[in-house]
Amino acid sequence: MLAKQTNKRRSFIQNLFLNDRLILTFIIINSITIFIEGFSALEYHIIYAINFIDSFITVMFIIEALVKIRYLGWRTYIQSAWNKLDFFLIVISLPSILVFMLNSDYTNLSFLLILRVLRVFKFLRFFRFITGIEHLLIGIQRALKTSVFVLFGFLIYNFIVAVLSCFLFSQMSDELFGDPLRSFYSIFKIFTVEGWYEIPETLTENQDGVSSFFIKTYFILILITGGILGLSLVNSIFVDSMVSDNNDELEQKVDELNLKMDQLLQELKQK
Protein backbone atom coordinates (compact mmCIF):
# COMPACT_ATOMS: atom_id res chain seq x y z
CA MET A 1 0.00 0.00 0.00
CA LEU A 2 2.79 2.37 0.95
CA ALA A 3 4.65 1.51 -2.27
CA LYS A 4 1.55 2.34 -4.34
CA GLN A 5 1.17 5.72 -2.63
CA THR A 6 4.83 6.46 -3.23
CA ASN A 7 4.49 5.56 -6.91
CA LYS A 8 1.39 7.74 -7.22
CA ARG A 9 3.27 10.68 -5.72
CA ARG A 10 6.19 10.16 -8.08
CA SER A 11 3.82 9.91 -11.02
CA PHE A 12 2.02 13.09 -9.93
CA ILE A 13 5.27 15.06 -9.58
CA GLN A 14 6.53 13.69 -12.89
CA ASN A 15 3.35 14.63 -14.76
CA LEU A 16 3.29 18.02 -13.04
CA PHE A 17 6.79 19.07 -14.10
CA LEU A 18 6.51 17.53 -17.55
CA ASN A 19 3.55 19.81 -18.20
CA ASP A 20 4.69 22.57 -20.56
CA ARG A 21 1.81 24.84 -19.54
CA LEU A 22 3.01 24.88 -15.94
CA ILE A 23 6.57 25.72 -16.97
CA LEU A 24 5.31 28.46 -19.30
CA THR A 25 3.30 29.91 -16.39
CA PHE A 26 6.43 29.94 -14.24
CA ILE A 27 8.35 31.70 -17.01
CA ILE A 28 5.68 34.38 -17.40
CA ILE A 29 5.50 35.01 -13.63
CA ASN A 30 9.29 35.15 -13.42
CA SER A 31 9.44 37.62 -16.31
CA ILE A 32 6.89 39.90 -14.65
CA THR A 33 8.70 39.88 -11.29
CA ILE A 34 12.10 40.69 -12.80
CA PHE A 35 10.48 43.44 -14.89
CA ILE A 36 8.93 45.00 -11.78
CA GLU A 37 12.24 44.79 -9.91
CA GLY A 38 13.75 47.12 -12.52
CA PHE A 39 11.86 50.06 -10.99
CA SER A 40 14.01 51.84 -8.42
CA ALA A 41 11.24 53.29 -6.20
CA LEU A 42 10.22 49.99 -4.62
CA GLU A 43 9.85 49.34 -0.94
CA TYR A 44 12.07 46.76 0.74
CA HIS A 45 9.29 44.24 1.42
CA ILE A 46 8.25 44.32 -2.27
CA ILE A 47 11.84 43.70 -3.39
CA TYR A 48 12.12 40.86 -0.86
CA ALA A 49 8.89 39.29 -2.16
CA ILE A 50 10.09 39.58 -5.77
CA ASN A 51 13.44 37.97 -4.91
CA PHE A 52 11.61 35.20 -3.05
CA ILE A 53 9.39 34.49 -6.07
CA ASP A 54 12.39 34.53 -8.40
CA SER A 55 14.31 32.09 -6.18
CA PHE A 56 11.25 29.85 -5.79
CA ILE A 57 10.72 29.65 -9.56
CA THR A 58 14.43 28.93 -10.07
CA VAL A 59 14.07 26.01 -7.63
CA MET A 60 11.05 24.83 -9.64
CA PHE A 61 13.18 24.90 -12.79
CA ILE A 62 15.83 22.84 -11.00
CA ILE A 63 13.21 20.28 -9.97
CA GLU A 64 11.90 20.23 -13.54
CA ALA A 65 15.39 19.45 -14.85
CA LEU A 66 15.89 16.69 -12.26
CA VAL A 67 12.50 15.15 -13.11
CA LYS A 68 13.29 15.16 -16.82
CA ILE A 69 16.74 13.70 -16.25
CA ARG A 70 15.23 10.91 -14.13
CA TYR A 71 12.45 10.31 -16.65
CA LEU A 72 14.57 10.44 -19.82
CA GLY A 73 18.02 9.58 -18.55
CA TRP A 74 20.97 11.96 -18.71
CA ARG A 75 22.12 11.01 -22.20
CA THR A 76 18.69 11.34 -23.76
CA TYR A 77 18.00 14.55 -21.84
CA ILE A 78 21.20 16.32 -22.84
CA GLN A 79 20.88 15.34 -26.51
CA SER A 80 18.05 17.85 -26.92
CA ALA A 81 19.23 21.34 -27.80
CA TRP A 82 16.35 22.84 -25.79
CA ASN A 83 17.30 20.81 -22.72
CA LYS A 84 20.90 21.97 -23.06
CA LEU A 85 19.67 25.56 -23.10
CA ASP A 86 17.39 24.92 -20.11
CA PHE A 87 20.21 23.34 -18.13
CA PHE A 88 22.59 26.20 -18.95
CA LEU A 89 20.02 28.81 -17.93
CA ILE A 90 19.42 27.00 -14.65
CA VAL A 91 23.13 26.94 -13.84
CA ILE A 92 23.61 30.67 -14.48
CA SER A 93 20.51 31.40 -12.35
CA LEU A 94 21.92 29.69 -9.26
CA PRO A 95 23.74 32.81 -7.94
CA SER A 96 20.35 34.53 -7.50
CA ILE A 97 19.35 31.80 -5.01
CA LEU A 98 22.68 32.09 -3.19
CA VAL A 99 22.33 35.86 -2.86
CA PHE A 100 18.78 35.51 -1.53
CA MET A 101 19.72 32.82 1.01
CA LEU A 102 22.83 34.59 2.32
CA ASN A 103 21.32 38.08 2.15
CA SER A 104 24.31 39.79 0.51
CA ASP A 105 23.46 43.15 2.12
CA TYR A 106 25.03 41.83 5.30
CA THR A 107 27.82 39.73 3.87
CA ASN A 108 30.83 40.17 1.65
CA LEU A 109 29.11 38.40 -1.23
CA SER A 110 27.66 41.51 -2.81
CA PHE A 111 29.68 40.80 -5.96
CA LEU A 112 27.22 37.99 -6.66
CA LEU A 113 24.58 40.64 -7.33
CA ILE A 114 26.32 41.21 -10.66
CA LEU A 115 25.84 37.53 -11.49
CA ARG A 116 22.13 37.88 -10.74
CA VAL A 117 21.81 39.86 -13.94
CA LEU A 118 22.30 36.57 -15.79
CA ARG A 119 18.91 35.37 -14.60
CA VAL A 120 17.21 37.52 -17.25
CA PHE A 121 18.43 34.96 -19.77
CA LYS A 122 15.75 32.64 -18.41
CA PHE A 123 13.40 34.60 -20.68
CA LEU A 124 14.98 32.70 -23.58
CA ARG A 125 12.85 29.74 -22.58
CA PHE A 126 9.90 31.60 -24.12
CA PHE A 127 11.23 30.67 -27.56
CA ARG A 128 10.65 27.02 -26.82
CA PHE A 129 6.89 27.55 -26.77
CA ILE A 130 6.67 29.49 -30.05
CA THR A 131 4.87 27.46 -32.70
CA GLY A 132 7.20 26.51 -35.56
CA ILE A 133 10.32 27.82 -33.79
CA GLU A 134 12.34 24.70 -34.67
CA HIS A 135 11.53 25.12 -38.36
CA LEU A 136 12.51 28.80 -38.10
CA LEU A 137 15.82 28.00 -36.40
CA ILE A 138 16.65 25.45 -39.09
CA GLY A 139 15.96 28.12 -41.71
CA ILE A 140 18.20 30.62 -39.92
CA GLN A 141 20.98 28.06 -39.64
CA ARG A 142 20.73 27.25 -43.34
CA ALA A 143 20.66 30.96 -44.22
CA LEU A 144 23.77 31.66 -42.15
CA LYS A 145 25.67 28.85 -43.86
CA THR A 146 24.64 30.10 -47.30
CA SER A 147 25.36 33.77 -46.68
CA VAL A 148 28.55 33.42 -44.60
CA PHE A 149 30.84 34.26 -47.52
CA VAL A 150 28.70 37.25 -48.50
CA LEU A 151 28.77 38.50 -44.91
CA PHE A 152 32.53 38.01 -44.81
CA GLY A 153 32.91 39.97 -48.05
CA PHE A 154 30.69 42.70 -46.65
CA LEU A 155 32.89 42.99 -43.55
CA ILE A 156 36.04 43.03 -45.69
CA TYR A 157 34.63 45.90 -47.73
CA ASN A 158 33.74 47.70 -44.51
CA PHE A 159 37.31 47.15 -43.28
CA ILE A 160 38.88 48.51 -46.49
CA VAL A 161 36.72 51.62 -46.54
CA ALA A 162 37.29 52.12 -42.81
CA VAL A 163 41.09 52.09 -43.14
CA LEU A 164 40.94 54.42 -46.14
CA SER A 165 38.60 56.80 -44.33
CA CYS A 166 40.81 56.75 -41.25
CA PHE A 167 43.78 58.07 -43.24
CA LEU A 168 41.61 60.62 -45.05
CA PHE A 169 39.59 62.08 -42.18
CA SER A 170 41.42 61.32 -38.91
CA GLN A 171 42.62 64.94 -38.62
CA MET A 172 39.13 66.31 -39.32
CA SER A 173 37.34 64.22 -36.69
CA ASP A 174 39.26 62.23 -34.12
CA GLU A 175 36.01 61.04 -32.57
CA LEU A 176 34.76 59.43 -35.79
CA PHE A 177 37.96 58.45 -37.63
CA GLY A 178 40.75 58.82 -35.07
CA ASP A 179 41.77 55.18 -35.35
CA PRO A 180 40.78 52.22 -37.60
CA LEU A 181 38.37 50.82 -35.00
CA ARG A 182 36.43 54.09 -34.68
CA SER A 183 36.50 54.44 -38.43
CA PHE A 184 35.15 50.89 -38.85
CA TYR A 185 32.21 51.69 -36.58
CA SER A 186 31.52 55.00 -38.33
CA ILE A 187 31.51 53.36 -41.78
CA PHE A 188 29.25 50.60 -40.49
CA LYS A 189 26.78 53.26 -39.31
CA ILE A 190 26.77 54.67 -42.84
CA PHE A 191 26.13 51.18 -44.23
CA THR A 192 23.02 50.92 -42.05
CA VAL A 193 21.67 54.02 -43.89
CA GLU A 194 19.97 55.37 -40.77
CA GLY A 195 21.41 58.82 -39.99
CA TRP A 196 24.23 58.43 -42.51
CA TYR A 197 24.21 62.14 -43.41
CA GLU A 198 25.30 63.21 -39.91
CA ILE A 199 28.89 62.04 -40.44
CA PRO A 200 29.62 63.97 -43.67
CA GLU A 201 27.83 67.01 -42.20
CA THR A 202 30.19 66.90 -39.22
CA LEU A 203 33.28 66.61 -41.45
CA THR A 204 32.26 69.45 -43.78
CA GLU A 205 31.26 71.86 -41.04
CA ASN A 206 34.47 73.94 -41.33
CA GLN A 207 35.43 73.05 -44.91
CA ASP A 208 35.23 75.14 -48.07
CA GLY A 209 32.76 74.43 -50.88
CA VAL A 210 35.04 72.25 -53.01
CA SER A 211 36.20 70.10 -50.07
CA SER A 212 32.62 69.73 -48.86
CA PHE A 213 31.50 68.58 -52.32
CA PHE A 214 34.14 65.84 -52.59
CA ILE A 215 33.63 64.68 -48.99
CA LYS A 216 29.87 64.37 -49.44
CA THR A 217 30.34 62.66 -52.83
CA TYR A 218 32.72 60.19 -51.18
CA PHE A 219 30.19 59.24 -48.53
CA ILE A 220 27.33 59.07 -51.03
CA LEU A 221 29.33 56.49 -52.99
CA ILE A 222 29.97 54.57 -49.76
CA LEU A 223 26.25 54.70 -48.97
CA ILE A 224 25.27 53.41 -52.42
CA THR A 225 27.88 50.63 -52.64
CA GLY A 226 27.84 49.47 -49.04
CA GLY A 227 24.49 50.51 -47.64
CA ILE A 228 22.04 50.24 -50.52
CA LEU A 229 23.66 47.60 -52.74
CA GLY A 230 25.85 45.66 -50.28
CA LEU A 231 23.42 45.39 -47.38
CA SER A 232 20.50 44.70 -49.73
CA LEU A 233 22.49 41.86 -51.30
CA VAL A 234 23.20 40.35 -47.89
CA ASN A 235 19.53 40.63 -46.87
CA SER A 236 18.23 39.14 -50.11
CA ILE A 237 20.57 36.13 -49.96
CA PHE A 238 19.75 35.56 -46.29
CA VAL A 239 15.98 35.70 -46.82
CA ASP A 240 16.14 33.57 -49.99
CA SER A 241 18.10 30.91 -48.11
CA MET A 242 15.58 30.89 -45.26
CA VAL A 243 12.62 30.21 -47.56
CA SER A 244 14.50 27.91 -49.93
CA ASP A 245 13.06 24.81 -48.28
CA ASN A 246 9.55 26.05 -49.04
CA ASN A 247 10.56 26.65 -52.68
CA ASP A 248 12.06 23.18 -52.89
CA GLU A 249 8.86 21.68 -51.52
CA LEU A 250 6.74 23.59 -54.04
CA GLU A 251 9.02 22.58 -56.90
CA GLN A 252 8.78 18.96 -55.82
CA LYS A 253 5.00 19.14 -55.77
CA VAL A 254 4.96 20.76 -59.22
CA ASP A 255 7.24 18.01 -60.57
CA GLU A 256 4.98 15.35 -59.09
CA LEU A 257 1.94 17.04 -60.63
CA ASN A 258 3.63 17.22 -64.04
CA LEU A 259 4.55 13.56 -63.79
CA LYS A 260 0.95 12.61 -63.02
CA MET A 261 -0.27 14.73 -65.93
CA ASP A 262 2.15 12.98 -68.29
CA GLN A 263 0.99 9.58 -67.07
CA LEU A 264 -2.63 10.59 -67.54
CA LEU A 265 -1.99 11.83 -71.08
CA GLN A 266 -0.22 8.59 -71.96
CA GLU A 267 -3.16 6.55 -70.64
CA LEU A 268 -5.58 8.67 -72.69
CA LYS A 269 -3.49 8.18 -75.86
CA GLN A 270 -3.41 4.42 -75.32
CA LYS A 271 -7.19 4.35 -75.07
Q: Give the CATH number for residue 51.
A: 1.20.120.350
Confidence grade of residue 270 (pLDDT, cut at 50, 70, 90): low
Of 85, 111, 129, the residue that ends a domain is: 129
Residues 111 and 143 in one domain: no
- % of the chain residues with pLDDT over 70: 70
Confidence grade of residue 183 (pLDDT, cut at 50, 70, 90): very high
Residues 70 and 162 in one domain: no
Residues 158 and 202 in one domain: yes
Print the domain residue range for 16.
2-129
In the prediction, which pLDDT does 114 show?
54
Of 108, 129, 150, the residue that ends a domain is: 129
Residue 88 reports pLDDT greater than 60 = yes
In the prediction, which pLDDT does 109 show?
47
Residues 242 and 119 in one domain: no
Enter the pTM of the model.
0.56
Average pLDDT, the chain: 77
pLDDT tens per residue across span 164-174: 999 999 888 88
Compute how many other C-beta atoms are within 10 angstroms of the C-beta atom of residue 111: 10
Higher pLDDT, 111 or 183: 183
Residue 251 reports pLDDT greater than 70 = no
Instruction: Tell me how far CA of residue 223 lies from CA of 54, 166, 195, 205, in angstroms.
Output: 47, 17, 11, 20
The total of structural domains in the chain comes to: 2
Q: Which of 11-25, 83-97, 108-122, 232-246 shows the lowest per-residue confidence on average (mean pLDDT)? A: 108-122
- % of the chain residues with pLDDT over 90: 10
Residue 209 reports pLDDT greater than 70 = yes
CB 186, CB 197: distance < 8 Å: no
Confidence grade of residue 107 (pLDDT, cut at 50, 70, 90): very low
Per-residue H/E/C for 135-174: HHHHHHHHHHHHHHHHHHHHHHHHHHHHHHHHHHHCCCCH
In the prediction, which pLDDT does 15 show?
73
Higher pLDDT, 57 or 266: 57
Of 129, 144, 165, the residue that ends a domain is: 129
CATH of the domain at 234: 1.10.287
Residues 150 and 106 in one domain: no
Residues 44 and 9 in one domain: yes
In the prediction, which pLDDT does 106 show?
44
In the prediction, which pLDDT does 12 show?
65
Confidence grade of residue 49 (pLDDT, cut at 50, 70, 90): confident
Residues 41 and 59 in one domain: yes
In the prediction, which pLDDT does 7 show?
58
Confidence grade of residue 110 (pLDDT, cut at 50, 70, 90): very low
Query: Cα–Cα distance between 30 and 119 in angstroms, integer?
Result: 10
Residues 170 and 265 in one domain: yes
Residues 164 and 230 in one domain: yes
Q: Which residues touch 193 (CB under 8 Å, ≥6 apart)?
A: 223, 227, 228, 231
Residue 163 reports pLDDT greater than 90 = yes
Residues 46 and 168 in one domain: no
232 burial level (CB within 10 Å; 0-12, 13-18, 19+): exposed
Residues 156 and 207 in one domain: yes
Residues 100 and 220 in one domain: no
